[in-house]
Amino acid sequence: MRCGAAVILRTLDAGGDKRSPICLYRAKRIPLLDFAGVRTSLHRPDLLETQLKAALAVASAGLCKVMLPMINSVAEIRAVRQVLEDLRRTINVPARRSGS
């Protein structure tokens, strides 16, 4: 059954002031927000891929949007989109048409 509402998945928002054992990096001399949000996910591609695979799995049932925390640059969005596209091809999920 479809209700027509989009599912919004927010990727991990760890790092910075949100300490977590999965963030395996040294915080010495790294400004608080320089390693937070999406930068943590890009540093740990295994975690990012798990989250994006979940997004692709639910996307087949309807509209799924992915929210990326603490975006700092267009390059970060492009990097996540590339990971998503590579996963989509690997697990053979059909591409959505523009505007979907």
Distance, C-alpha 85 to centroid of its chain: 12
Residues facing 7 on adjacent strands: 64
- Residues shown for the chain: 100
The two structure tokens encoding residue 84: 């998503």
- Those residues whose C-beta lies under 8 Å from the C-beta of residue 59, and which sit 6 or more positions away, are 93, 96
Indicate the domain borders of the chain. Answer: 8-90
User: Which neighbouring-strand residues pair with 75?
Assistant: none
With cut-offs at 50, 70 and 90, classify the pLDDT of residue 36: confident
Residues 6+ apart with CB under 8 A from 86: none
Min mean pLDDT across 5-9, 44-48, 92-96 is at 92-96
Supply the pLDDT for residue 80.
96
pTM of the complete model: 0.74
- The predicted-structure confidence for 58-72, as pLDDT tens digits, reads as follows 887 778 889 998 898
